[in-house]
Amino acid sequence: LSFRLKNTKEKKHSMVLLKILKPIQTPLLWRNLQIQNGTLAVVTTCLLCQQQKRYAGHSKWANIKFKKMHKDNARAKVFGQLSREIIQAVKEKGADPVYNAKLEGLVLKARSSSMPKERIENSIKNALRSSDEKATQSLFQARGPMKCGLMIDVLAPNVIRTKNEIKTILKKNDATFISDGSVAFMFDHKGVVTIKDKLSKPKDGRDDVEVVTDENAIDQAEEIAIEVGAEDVHFTYNEQLDQRVIQFLCQPLEIQTIRKEMEENHQPLEILSTDVQYLAKSLVDLDEHNMTQADRLIELLTNHPDVLNVYDNIIGYPSSTIKIDQIFT
């Protein structure tokens, strides 16, 4: 699209044209000063340029590429956390999983997360070779938007430095570091045995529809829970493992007993991980604005290199935290 004006009053007509085009908000290009019929004429050409904007979901390939990059970054973070935990476990109780239940659980979790075998073995070797001091695992408490509770699990060689860095992140995002233990009352400390969900089936037996958890699947899971001695059972989708799972809850010291019972008497079950987590029992409902603020805060905390996990008590927030009052289907 172009406009062509001829007039000796260059400034006047240029300003008129600018005023006309101002609402369009497009780049302008002025050119060509000429002499025509003995009169100074300004030949003004205005080029209206449209800049194409590209978004992650604007094309199929761009969307796939964006999601893959996000998933790869998340996986790298998980692998880094697991490596540090494996190194710490070896330093505490040795490299033999038979005598080190914590290491055994971490190796199982690493395999379920598709962590390369070589990286697992290298983490164990590095722990045996390293003469550095052991890192310390600590739990920090905080309150975020609308006083939601956050439990921040860290593994750090210098706890004081990490604590100060966590405090800085909280302060910059209108959150508060808590030292009185009030946030801990919102959570239960439980052992969690996670297995692959083979009980939920596609609706009507079709492969092209969404998998659902019906009453029959729930009954079967509850029977298994009773037989192995678990306190409770939940169906959910695990973002880290990228699959539907069933989680059996128990006291932290009973994890290995329940796992052994499953392996000996429920052979078809595929155990993905065994670990200790903080389950939210007192939940907070956030509006859209505060949910956005909480999401940014949790992302910043999770990205800290010493943070292993951030547990929250936010209703509807997609995280790995088990929320006792919510129904997983």
Contacts for 110 with CB less than 8 Å, ≥ 6 apart: 79, 82, 86, 119, 120
Domains 71-129 and 136-204+214-312 share a fold: no
The C-alpha atoms of residue 60 and residue 289 are separated, in whole angstroms, by 30
What's the pLDDT tens digit per position in 28-80? 334 444 444 444 444 444 433 333 333 344 344 334 433 444 455 567 777 88
What is the Cα–Cα distance from 76 to 65, expressed in whole angstroms? 16
CATH architecture of the domain with range 71-129: Orthogonal Bundle (1.10)
d(CA 215, CA 199): 10
CATH of domain 136-204+214-312: 3.30.70.980
**What's the average model confidence in pLDDT over 235-247?**
84
Each residue's pLDDT tens digit, 280-309 = 999 999 999 999 999 999 999 998 988 988
Per-residue model confidence (pLDDT) at position 144: 97
Per this entry, what is the length of the chain?
Answer: 329
Beta bridge partners of 271: 195
- How confident is the model at residue 227, as a pLDDT? 94
E strands present in the chain: 33-36, 39-42, 136-143, 149-156, 176-178, 187-196, 201-202, 211-212, 232-238, 243-250, 271-280, 307-312
CB contact burial 100-132 (16+ within 10 A = b; e otherwise): bebbbbbbbbbebbebeeeebeebbeebeeeee
Q: Which of 213, 194, 199 is nearest to 113 (CA)?
A: 194
Sequence-distant (6+) residues with CB within 8 A of 82 are: 106, 109, 110, 113, 115, 123
Q: Across residues 90-108, what is the average pLDDT?
A: 85
Measure Cα distances from 189 to 126, 136, 285, 299, 311 in Å: 30, 19, 22, 23, 11
Per-domain residue ranges for the chain? 71-129, 136-204+214-312
Determine the distance from the C-alpha atom of residue 45 to the mean position of all C-alpha atoms in its chain, rounded to a whole number.
51
Rounded to an integer, the average pLDDT of 198-207 is 74
What is the average pLDDT value for the chain, to the nearest integer? 78
SS3 content of the chain, % helix, strand, coil (to 5): 45, 25, 35
Angle at 192 between CA 188 and CA 194, to 5 degrees: 145
- Reported as type and span, the H/E element at residue 262 is helix 255-265
Instruction: Give the model confidence (pLDDT) of 168-188 as tens digits.
Output: 999 999 999 999 999 999 999
Yes or no: say if 234 and 277 are a contact pair by the CB < 8 Å rule: no
User: Cβ distance 186 to 281 under 8 Å?
Assistant: yes
Q: How confident is the model at residue 205 (pLDDT cuts 50, 70, 90)?
A: low
